[in-house]
Amino acid sequence: MKTTITLLVLLFLSLGCSSDGDEDVTTKDGPFAISELAGTWDATKAQFSVSTTSVDLIEQGGSARMTVQTSGRFSLILNPADRPAYTVSGEMFWEAWQGSYYFAIEWDDDPGDWDTYGHTYNGTVLSLNGGADTGEYDFDNDGDFESCSIHFIFERG
């Protein structure tokens, strides 16, 4: 009887503590600490692309400025030349998966979900590249934001 109970406990523990590797693990420490991004960043490129359409706010005379807290919380003011400025915000972190780290952003308008981005960072320049559906932009200025990819290059302000 004692052996049966022990086997049942071990079976329960092994099933309850699955290590299937599909868990989402997030952290503030990856290839660099997210807290290193704290401060103000001005965009030299703020490009939104979908299909054959691409808009770079900076090339068109607009601006983009991001303010990052040590926690990874940020706000990004986008100021297109042809319409009023608006702000988006969220939180930056790393998603650890299968021995690698992916730069991730959870946007405030989509809580509980995040996108991962290609990145480069050298202490003064941060570049983010997102695949399809990692950003939104109102390409035809009709009030409806379309899903798109993004490419931002920021310099520390």
Please report the pLDDT score of residue 24 as a whole number. 72
Domain 26-156 has CATH 1.10.600: no
Please report the pLDDT score of residue 22 as a whole number. 53
pTM of the model: 0.83
The closest alpha carbon to 41, from 25, 65, 17, belongs to 65
**CA dist., res. 145 & res. 136, Å (int):** 6
What residues are paired with 102 via a beta bridge? 95
Type and span of the H or E element at 128 = strand 125-130
| pLDDT, tens digit, 9 for 90 and up, residues 128-152 | 999 999 999 999 999 999 999 999 9
Please report the pLDDT score of residue 157 as a whole number. 86
